[in-house]
Structure 1
Amino acid sequence: MKITELLKKDTIIIDLKSKSKPEVINELVNKLNTAGRLNDKEEYKKAILKREEQFSTGIGDGIAIPHAKTAAVKIPALAFGRSKAGIDYDSLDGNNAHIFFMIAASEGAHNDHLDTLSRLSSMLMNEEFRKKLMDAKTAEDILTLIDKEEQSYLAAQEVENEEIKEEVKEEKGLVLAVTACPTGIAHTYMAADALKNKAKEMGVGIKVETCGSTGVKNRLKDEDIAKASAIIVAADKQVEMARFEGKKVIQVPVVQGIKKSEELINRAVKGDAPVYHHSGNSDKDSTDKGGRTGFYKHLMSGVSNMLPFVVGGGILIAICFMFGIKAFDPNDPSFNPVAKLLMDIGGGNAFFLMIPVLAGFIGMSIADRPGFAPAMVGGLIAANNGAGFLGGLIAGFLGGYVVVMLKKAFDKLPQSVEGIKPVLLYPLFGILITGAIMFLLVVNPVKAINLGLQNWLSSMGTANKVLLGLVLGGMMAVDMGGPINKAAFTFGIAMISAGNYYPHAAIMAGGMVPPLGIAIATTIFRNRFTKQERESGITNYIMGASFITEGAIPFAAADPGRVIPSAIVGSAVAGALTMAFNVTLPAPHGGLFVIFITNHPWLYLLAILIGSVVTALMLGILKKPVEAEDRAKLVLETK
Structure 2
Amino acid sequence: MNIQDLLAPEVMILDLQATTKRAALKEIIASLYNAGKIRDEQEFLEGILAREAQTTTGLGEGIAMPHSKNAAVITPTIAFARSGKGVDYDSLDGQPVELFFMIAVPTDANDTHLQALANLSRYLLQDGFMAKLKTAPTSQAVWDLFAGDEVPTTLGSHVAADAPYLVAVTACTTGIAHTYMAEEALKKEAEKLGVHIKVETNGASGVGNRLTPEDIANAQGVIVAADKKVEMQRFDGKRLIKRPVADGIRKPDELIDLALQDEAPVFHADGSETPSDNHTQDLSVGKAFYQHLMSGVSSMLPFVIGGGIAIALAFLIDQSLGVPHDQLASLGTYHPIAAFLKQIGGAAFGFMLPVLAGYIAYSIAEKPGLVAGFVAGEIAATGYNIYNVGLDATHAPIPSGFLGALVGGFLAGGIMLLLKSAFKKLPKSLDGIKSILFYPVLGVILTGFAMLIINIPMSA
Partner of 2:135: 135
Q: Deviations over 1:496-538 (max 9, x none)?
A: x9xxxxxxxxxxxxxxxxxxxxxxxxxxxxxxxxxxxxxxxxx
Change (3 A) 1:409 1:371: farther
1:266 aligns with 2:267: no
Partner of 1:92: 92
Aligned equivalents of 1:394, 1:115: Cα separation in 2: 37
**Which sections of structure 1, spanning at least 5 residues, go unmatched?**
306-356, 385-391, 444-496, 498-639
- Give how far 1:61 is off: 0.5
1:176 aligns with 2:176: no
Aligned equivalents of 2:415, 2:361: Cα separation in 1: 9
Match for residue 228 of structure 1 among 216, 219, 228: 219
Partner of 1:188: 179
Partner of 1:241: 232
Partner of 1:368: 369
1:15 aligns with 2:15: yes
Counterpart contact for 1:364–1:400, Cα < 8 Å: no
- Give how far 1:111 is off: 1.1
Aligned equivalents of 1:75, 1:288: Cα separation in 2: 35
Q: Deviations over 1:33-59 (max 9, x none)?
A: 111111222111111111111111111
Q: Percent identity?
A: 39
Which amino acid in the other structure matches residue 15 of structure 1?
D
Counterpart contact for 1:39–1:74, Cα < 8 Å: yes
Q: CA RMSD in A?
A: 4.4
TM-score (norm 2): 0.67
Aligned equivalents of 1:68, 1:438: Cα separation in 2: 35
1:197 aligns with 2:171: no
Which amino acid in the other structure matches residue 211 of structure 1?
N
Aligned equivalents of 2:49, 2:450: Cα separation in 1: 46
- Give how far 1:112 is off: 1.3
Aligned equivalents of 2:36, 2:126: Cα separation in 1: 31
Match for residue 155 of structure 1 among 152, 157, 160: 152
Aligned equivalents of 2:106, 2:169: Cα separation in 1: 25
Secondary structure in 2 matching 1:290:
coil
Aligned equivalents of 1:399, 1:17: Cα separation in 2: 52
Secondary structure in 2 matching 1:155:
coil
Counterpart contact for 1:229–1:271, Cα < 8 Å: no
Secondary structure in 1 matching 2:105:
strand
Counterpart contact for 2:361–2:369, Cα < 8 Å: no
Partner of 1:468: none
Show the 5 A alignment for 1:464-613. none
1:68 aligns with 2:59: no
- Give how far 1:289 is off: 3.8
Counterpart contact for 2:186–2:249, Cα < 8 Å: yes
Partner of 1:279: 270
- Give how far 1:266 is off: 1.1
Aligned equivalents of 2:290, 2:280: Cα separation in 1: 18
Aligned equivalents of 2:416, 2:232: Cα separation in 1: 24
Counterpart contact for 2:172–2:178, Cα < 8 Å: yes
Partner of 1:48: 48
Q: Deviations over 1:422-457 (max 9, x none)?
A: 9xx977765556778999xxx9xxxxxxxxxxxxxx
Partner of 2:340: none
Change (3 A) 1:51 1:400: closer
Aligned equivalents of 2:57, 2:27: Cα separation in 1: 16
- Give how far 1:6 is off: 1.2
- Give how far 1:236 is off: 0.5
Partner of 1:565: none
Which amino acid in the other structure matches residue 58 of structure 2?
G
Aligned equivalents of 1:410, 1:198: Cα separation in 2: 38
Aligned equivalents of 2:175, 2:78: Cα separation in 1: 16
Show the 5 A alignment for 1:421-440. 430-432=443-445
Partner of 1:595: none
- Give how far 1:238 is off: 1.1
Which amino acid in the other structure matches residue 192 of structure 2?
E
Aligned equivalents of 2:419, 2:387: Cα separation in 1: 20
Aligned equivalents of 2:430, 2:34: Cα separation in 1: 61
Which amino acid in the other structure matches residue 23 of structure 1?
A
Change (3 A) 1:87 1:371: same
Change (3 A) 1:242 1:4: same
Change (3 A) 1:216 1:98: same
Show the 5 A alignment for 1:314-329. none
1:30 aligns with 2:21: no
Show the 5 A alignment for 1:313-392. 365-366=364-365, 367-372=368-373
Q: Deviations over 1:255-297 (max 9, x none)?
A: 0001101111111222342100111699x997234369xxx98
Secondary structure in 1 matching 2:28:
helix
Counterpart contact for 1:371–1:400, Cα < 8 Å: no
Aligned equivalents of 1:438, 1:6: Cα separation in 2: 48
Aligned equivalents of 1:24, 1:226: Cα separation in 2: 47
**Which sections of structure 2, spanning at least 5 residues, go unmatched?**
294-355, 389-407
Change (3 A) 1:14 1:368: same
Partner of 1:105: 105
Change (3 A) 1:426 1:227: closer
- Give how far 1:203 is off: 0.8
Aligned equivalents of 1:104, 1:44: Cα separation in 2: 8
Q: Deviations over 1:232-267 (max 9, x none)?
A: 000001111111000011000000001101111111
Secondary structure in 2 matching 1:275:
coil
Counterpart contact for 1:246–1:275, Cα < 8 Å: yes
Aligned equivalents of 1:41, 1:438: Cα separation in 2: 41
Structure with greater proportional helix content: 1
Q: Deviations over 1:336-379 (max 9, x none)?
A: xxxxxxxxxxxxxxxxxxxxx99x9779844412233677879x
Specify which structure has the bigger relative contact order, considering alpha-carbon pairs within 8 angstroms and separated by 6 or more residues: 2
Secondary structure in 1 matching 2:151:
helix
- Give how far 1:215 is off: 1.1
Counterpart contact for 2:229–2:363, Cα < 8 Å: no
1:210 aligns with 2:201: yes
Change (3 A) 1:285 1:113: farther
Aligned equivalents of 2:450, 2:33: Cα separation in 1: 58
Counterpart contact for 1:279–1:285, Cα < 8 Å: no
Counterpart contact for 1:79–1:102, Cα < 8 Å: yes
Q: Deviations over 1:67-105 (max 9, x none)?
A: 111121100011111111111111111111111111111
Aligned equivalents of 2:132, 2:280: Cα separation in 1: 37
TM-score (norm 1): 0.49
Q: How many residues align?
A: 360
- Give how far 1:126 is off: 2.3
Aligned equivalents of 1:57, 1:303: Cα separation in 2: 16
Partner of 1:288: 279
Partner of 1:555: none
Change (3 A) 1:438 1:91: closer
Counterpart contact for 2:167–2:197, Cα < 8 Å: yes
Change (3 A) 1:254 1:194: same
Change (3 A) 1:204 1:26: same
Partner of 1:2: 2
Aligned equivalents of 1:437, 1:80: Cα separation in 2: 51
Which amino acid in the other structure matches residue 205 of structure 2?
T
Aligned equivalents of 2:106, 2:412: Cα separation in 1: 41
Partner of 1:124: 124
Change (3 A) 1:373 1:197: closer
- Give how far 1:16 is off: 0.8
